[in-house]
Structure 1
Amino acid sequence: MFKKPVNNWKTSSPLRTSDRKKLRLKVASSFSIDTAEADVLVPEGILSVKFKSHLNESGVAYLAPDGDHDPLWFILGKGTDAQQEDALIIPTVYTLWKNPKLLPFLSTPKAVIPILIGGADLMIPGVVHCSQSLNEGQLVSIRKYERIDVDGTLTPMLSPPLAVGRMAIGSDQLQDSGQEKGKAVYILHTWKDHLWELGSKGDVPMSEPIKIEGGEDINSEDSEEKEQKQEGDAHVSVETIAAAAIQSDSDSTKTSTYTPDEVSQLLRMSLVQAISQSLGPLPASAFPIPATIFYTNHILPNRPNYPVLILPFSSAPSDDLSSTDLPGPDPSSITIKTSSHKSLTAFLKSAEKSGLISTKAPQKHSAQTDTLVTAVNASHPDVQVHRSFATIGEAEAKAVRKTLREEEEKKQQAAASLELDIRELWKPHLNSVELFEAMSESPSNLYNLQEVRSLLSSYFATHQLVNSHDQAYINLDRVLTMCVVPKPKLKSSKNKSSSAKAESEPQAEVEFMKRDDVIKAVLDTMQSWYQVRNAGDDVLPKKGKLSPIQVVMKIRQGRKVSTLITGFEPFNLVAEDLSEDLRKLCAGATSITPIPGKPANSGMEVLVQGKQSKAVLDYLLGKGVPKKWIEVHDVIKGKK
């Protein structure tokens, strides 16, 4: 919800004493705490501030009165008044750090927390433990699951709450061992998101971790079987592999870590991966590269995302457990500091000694103090035999693409909800009346294109008019001929006898036509109607043919460029509102006049100074006008 900056914070103001009391009572009743606890969580002088999220969703945040104004509570949606009975008041992580037991919780492995902060929801495979009797839609907190050395024993522990969300399913479904896909929690707010950054941004409380007591372990059964399926597949999702790597509390509490020499080996493999994938194809002009940039932009992103699948632990226990049966370290912990080299210079010298790269030391008395990487050896034997693996950089890029895709889908859904419902309709008229009566349909009704097609197709089939030699053609009977075949026109009809002759003149002899041509000819004989309405509105259809809005750029009054908009009235747009909105949007003068050369009451023309077709197009789309109903013409260049 707050993965992007909030775009419209209003001015904060202290709550009135009466409103603060109502908020305190609501907090006490909603979270089953006494008045004294609620008094601490809703302090005197608490501030309220309205906002709109990056998805244009309204909300209210309640801020602490002193210091950095830590956000304490927030409400989302139209019911943003805490006094409303149906308003859902949500605690922030700042509030949950004061009272961690305010909400029931779910736990997830350490590797999943950055994904949640990035804007993703918590998936079912990423749940390790959950409270009992949770209902769908219930507010919950998310805690980090990890094993900590307590008196020489690795004990499962929980961090303070790091996220707040709503249950996507109930805990009974979550505990179903057959339920392995889907979302567990819709995340509303996390540690380090833009709402959290509004406050003091303090460290996570360093209080003693809480031992897991009660509740249910999720994904603890069959974890070994899951890992066997994942072994060898470097592109398993982070959520799945993180959840599958966690053993249950009854399993062995042994774990394994990489030695400094193994970290050095993984860093060297990352360098080989970088040379193979990105550095090798670079031209010579791309070098030299400063050592810190070389390390940050090329080595770190190419670290293996699942190192345990690339380099098994040499420090595995001597019993029946293998190294891949134990939780591996966070791949981001594979750094120079945890390696045997300890410094980037030493690592680069080692890589140069093995022939992978060439370096150059900075000159004395030079402003450049960083070692330079002057070349890489793409023909090195290790590079030639290297097999690519899934990297941290690829995983991060995939997460970013997924986030962008989800945002784009939300934007499209939001735009679709605002888009006008435009329907083209037709009514039987003149020659088509007899045809619709023959189809047992009322000639006084309005029909859309799909209905006309369906009725004609049924008529063709019922009267066996489909051509037996080519089904794309329709044989014309008398009724169709009278409707779709035009009568011949005489050159002169000066007297009654010639007029009578024209009426008695037979129509042109046409035995068959293409199916699409028949449908088009029938539509041409019918009256055009249209209906334009917002979602849920009940608007009567109007007679006439609906034409697209015309946005024309042309030169007027000598050399002045102007943008003219006409034909907008059928789309529920008012000239005065359109002119005023475009004046502010384009920061230029606008005017309204009757359309030149057209009869009175045929519509108005809005003029905007300057070449503003892009701004006008975006404005009309924002008003719900579909793009197919907007035509832009550039008369200045003589192009459409």
Structure 2
Amino acid sequence: MAFKKPLASLKTSAPLRSSDRRKLKQRVVDRFNLQPDEGDILVPEGLQSVKFTTHVDEPGVAYFSEGDPLWFTLGKGSEDLIPTVYTLWKAPDLLPTLSTPSAVIPRLTDGADLMIPGGVVTHSPTLRINELVGITQYEEGKRGPPLAVGRMAVNGEELRGRETKGKAVIVVHAWKDRLWEMGTKREPRESVSLPVEDEEEEEEEVTEDNEEVKEDVHDVVGEEATPPPPSTAPSETTAESEEAPSLPPLSPDETSTLLRLSLIHAIHTHLSHLPPTSFPIPSSTLYTTYILPSRPSHLPLPTSTPPTEIDIKHSSHKSLTGFLRQMDKEGLVKIKEVKGKGGVGEVLIMGVGKGHKDVLGHKGYVTLGDVEAKREKKEREREREEGGRKEIVVTELWKPHQASVRFFEEAGKDTSTLYTHAELKSLLNTYIMTKALMNPHKQEYINLASDDVLAAVLYPPPPQGKGGGKQAVGSESDAPEFMKREDALKRLVKSMQAWHRVEVEGKDPVTRKGEMKPIDVVVKMRQGRKACTLITNFEAFFLSADDLADELRKLCASATSVTPLQGKGAGLEVMVQGKQIKAVTELLVEKGVPKRWIEVRGLVGKKK
């Protein structure tokens, strides 16, 4: 597997030009026989391209959107686009699939290829060698999400029977591998029940001697991992479900109505409050960031279709473009269709109808986004209750350095120890008392002229150049006769080498050389008129860029991205669209970052 081990190198990401993004989208549309609006969803605006080299020195390019890798190529100059599992979770039918027993999945995620027999339960007989395929976990009567992507090592007809040995699929990427870890680390969606006709089709594709194949899973994963045979005893739940009347799925018109309702809710709660500078919005962003999270958590219709399965493909419009054209006619949105080179176009949302009668008369409801946010909040609260709040403790430290070493030797202290501010204050006071430097008339002053060692530390002589030279300002000759204790302490600290220690409950403390930098939260204007909030310097606080981007995307209902900063070891930058200082600050504090270590700057660069 290409991503079994950490990448050998990872270059700085770069925004994909609009022309290059349109070309990439057209390649996807042509290669996978998609509609243009489907291409907008799978190749959205704001893509970032990243060049990398795998652990086996194979070059490649990955394309990221909102923190997730969506596509990649392998090989020098290769134009063979491969979808990631993140993309396949959006479009499960993008590739033909094979299913494999649950016991095989851990081996695939560990980097193994899919073997035959024992590895393949169902498959399409039309598969051809070297064809890209997705691999799912076999569940009778259900279709699971793709968990791996690979190339066929044999033709589909060779998978039938027990005679064929060897590899069925050469896996190039899988859930939980290093490429997946570069994304937001979202979990796969749940399996969905197959319609009756699909279930019958799957049964026709089950490999011959299926029961014997299941018994031979140990050929792939070992004896101990062989899954137990399913129980044949009927359960009470099964009996009850057989007696319960089956509910019909949503019709295309009903799906369209619910998507329209979701758009109205999104306009009512979020889109109508966006500043004009937030527009235009790409159609794919509108769909994934605003419409889908606004789907009702409980459907107002008796149906077997779960809310999470309300999708534009199942509507009467069939495509996002068709849906938006209709919404434009109704005055709910104002769209602009932009044609690019080669006739490839994209749809932009120029504004929303916040004064539309349906928006003004809309009554809110609980959305899937609300349910997900509530679940995550409860999870965070549960973690705090179980282990207490993981407060991040930052301790500033100083080490004797250069001129200050002599002072610590004179005071009989270890010159290799790291000292806190309180310890330095106590040490200086003790030294002043021992050397009788305290001014008898004003005890807040010390007689600096009475101690050459302390004077040399606080006012060290400058380095001598060629032929000597005049002493610079701040040398020992310029040391004042009297000095306040607090000023002496400041100069002592300044003469030492700065260090810091960061501690989080449940993790080993980390001590590093250098001053501790606060997390920088700044609002800037990009592309001339769009405000965005940028977060940097968070890595030292044990915070993950991907986790921050994922939580802020849900919390702010705005697009986010993660971008490497320029320079060696410069770290990462998390971007969230809009002026989100309050939301970002509250999230950081909730994660245990002390407020004094959060530096906020507005559009004019002033601290807040």
Superposition TM-score tier, normalisation by shorter sequence = 0.3 to 0.5
TM-score by length of 1: 0.33
Structure showing greater relative contact order (alpha-carbon pairs closer than 8 Å, 6 or more residues apart): 2
TM-score by length of 2: 0.35
